[in-house]
Structure 1
Amino acid sequence: MSFGHGGPFDGPGGTGSTPDWEALAEESEAGAKRKRWLLIGGGALATVVVAGIVAAAVVSSNSGGSDAKPTAHGSASGSAIEPDAPHPSFSDVSVPPPPNPRDYISDPKKDKAPFTPATLFPDKKMVIGDHTYPRAATAASKDCTEAAQGALGSLLKHSGCTSLLRATYAKDGVAVTVGVAAFDSPAAAAHVKDKAPNNLAPLAGGDVGGSFCRGTACRMTTNATGRYAYFTISGYLDGKRTTGASAPVIQIGRDGESYAFARIIQRGKYQAAKAAQEQATHS
């Protein structure tokens, strides 16, 4: 068989030629590189897609489901979400503060309650802690010098004493007379406290005879609170001299002083409570 000048590699209708093996090799290599880049690009894209799916799954599992745990910050603003709870309501009306009892024992314009033995010493017994003493006598003196001895009378008069009340209590052979003097100001009462020579006159009556603290040594005290000065004189009923070792006399004297102070304070509390009640009635 004869093929003439052609050969098995002739093109259709053309003359035959030798294939360009180098160009074919380069074309083949370029195609292989493109395939590899496609594979690499596709793998990277797949990685991104898979990572996105995993992240979405994590977010989904954290944001819902029966096993999700509540956090302290449940709102976009960062504040915790709490269920509605009832809140106390308050009146818009302002309530004035309660009156101060000390104001009523310091200011004669407010201190209007009757100042008498019945109001200041109303009980038949003086009770201080575990100690109880029956009341023997009471007295009121507009002239304060009548209820004082020696220099105390002059001091009370010149300091503006308007009234002096006394009450005597006795038990087991000892007694105490308590005296409370009223003034127009706390300054006057304090002046008497600082200058008083402790000469309150003892008050006899009932089971307390004339021998009580007359012509003998007795225990005496002076003090003041608000516009009131208060005094005590305590001793033996039989006139025996009081000494530093006279424990019963010292005790009844201390109790008498505590009682006088308590009664003055109670006077202020009574008037303050009455004023508060009147405020509430008119508000």
Structure 2
Amino acid sequence: MSFGQGGPFDGPGGSGTPNWDALAEESEAASRRKRWMLIGGGALAALAVAGIVTAAVVNSGGSPDGNPTARPTSSGEVTEPDDKPSFPDVSVPPPPNPRDYITDPKKDKAPLTPSTLFPDKTMVVGEHTYPRTNTATTNDCTSASQGPLGSLLSHNGCRKLLRATYSKGGVSVTVGVALFDSPAKATRVLQQLKDGSNIAPLAGGGVPSTFCQATRCRTLTNATGRYAYFTIAGYNNGKATETSETKAQQIGRDGAAYAFTRITQRGKDQAAKVAEQQAKEAREKAKQQS
């Protein structure tokens, strides 16, 4: 009686010879199962590590590459990082208004002399140039004026009257600038001033004493800030000015424009000095904060 073939090894009653082909197939199958288990286990471990790293990044508010990131809030909104850079306060006050320094006596503190108000040896207005011939200053404003102007200057509290004369081509102009405590007083003098009343002409330096003496000359008046300014212009030889003539008219207009420019420049110079000091203080403050 014969028996059918059993497993890899015959049981009791078998022939006792191993089936080598069956053993080889079973060994190969076992090896494949082991490799898949190792690969699967490694993948699960990698996923677990990645989850731990991600949780650490979220909790710490950082990112895997070390750069700061935004942090989510409990409401789901994103907030900026807390470690924003801070900079020192270097703000500078607005620049001063130059007009304040020719209007307010508390600010208008720069020296007021002929050399500061009329510093140039030549008056330049546009294309016209006129050499300066003489300057003068007085605290007695009536002594440097003609007619009713002296009384108006005195009654309105004139503090100082400065004059400068410029001459060219046989005509001259004396420019006068009067200082008051307020713009209102300077304006009041102009409102009350009558024709024929003006500052006294200033001779010297080549301008003869006959300049605008006992003859008709051109006059102009105006005011800016707490300063009133005046001009008297005419011929050096004593010739009276006529309605149709232009030489004395031109130098008189240029003298008035120059007076306005010099008063305005006084305000600009003082404002610039204050602005420079403010900028210096701001830089020192920023240096201390840095």
Question: Scaled by the length of structure 1, what TM-score is found?
Answer: 0.67
Is the partner of 1:245 in helix, strand or coil?
A: coil
One-letter identity of the residue aligned with 1:231: F
Aligned ranges for residues 116-265 of structure 1 at < 5 Å?
116-197=113-194, 198-265=197-264
* Cα distance in structure 1, aligned partners of 2:191 and 2:253: 19
- Once the two structures are TM-superposed, the CA of residue 152 in structure 1 deviates from its matched residue by 0.3
Aligned ranges for residues 27-46 of structure 1 at < 5 Å?
none
- Runs of 4+ deviating beyond 2 Å: 90-95
Residue 14 of structure 2 is matched in structure 1 by none
Confirm whether residue 104 of structure 1 aligns to residue 97 of structure 2: no
Q: Is the 8 A contact 2:92 2:278 kept in 1?
A: no
One-letter identity of the residue aligned with 1:233: I
- Once the two structures are TM-superposed, the CA of residue 259 in structure 1 deviates from its matched residue by 0.1
One-letter identity of the residue aligned with 2:169: D
* Cα distance in structure 2, aligned partners of 1:245 and 1:237: 18
One-letter identity of the residue aligned with 1:113: A
Q: Is the 8 A contact 1:169 1:176 kept in 2?
A: yes
Residue 82 of structure 1 is matched in structure 2 by none
- Once the two structures are TM-superposed, the CA of residue 91 in structure 1 deviates from its matched residue by 7.6
Is the partner of 1:101 in helix, strand or coil?
A: coil
- Once the two structures are TM-superposed, the CA of residue 193 in structure 1 deviates from its matched residue by 1.7
Is the partner of 2:209 in helix, strand or coil?
A: coil
Is the partner of 2:115 in helix, strand or coil?
A: helix
- Once the two structures are TM-superposed, the CA of residue 93 in structure 1 deviates from its matched residue by 4.0
- Once the two structures are TM-superposed, the CA of residue 92 in structure 1 deviates from its matched residue by 5.3
Cα distance 1:281–1:220, how it changes in 2: closer, same or farther (>3 A)?
Answer: same
Is the partner of 1:277 in helix, strand or coil?
A: helix
Q: Is the 8 A contact 1:234 1:252 kept in 2?
A: yes
Is the partner of 2:103 in helix, strand or coil?
A: coil
Is the partner of 2:135 in helix, strand or coil?
A: strand
Residue 279 of structure 1 is matched in structure 2 by 278
Is the partner of 1:154 in helix, strand or coil?
A: helix
- Once the two structures are TM-superposed, the CA of residue 258 in structure 1 deviates from its matched residue by 0.2
Cα distance 1:91–1:255, how it changes in 2: closer, same or farther (>3 A)?
Answer: farther
* Cα distance in structure 1, aligned partners of 2:187 and 2:267: 18
Q: Is the 8 A contact 1:196 1:222 kept in 2?
A: no
* Cα distance in structure 1, aligned partners of 2:119 and 2:89: 42
Q: Is the 8 A contact 1:234 1:253 kept in 2?
A: yes
* Cα distance in structure 2, aligned partners of 1:282 and 1:96: 10
* Cα distance in structure 2, aligned partners of 1:159 and 1:254: 26
For residues 233-261 of structure 1, the C-alpha deviation after alignment (integer angstroms, 9 at most, x for no partner) is 00000000011112000000000000000
* Corresponding pairs, count: 195
* Cα distance in structure 1, aligned partners of 2:273 and 2:220: 32
Percent identity over paired residues: 66
Q: Is the 8 A contact 1:133 1:170 kept in 2?
A: yes
**Unaligned stretches of 5+ in structure 2?**
1-86, 283-290
* Cα distance in structure 2, aligned partners of 1:171 and 1:220: 18
* Cα distance in structure 2, aligned partners of 1:93 and 1:277: 14
Asked which structure has the greater CA Rg, the reply is 1
Residue 81 of structure 2 is matched in structure 1 by none
Is the partner of 2:99 in helix, strand or coil?
A: helix
- Once the two structures are TM-superposed, the CA of residue 192 in structure 1 deviates from its matched residue by 1.0
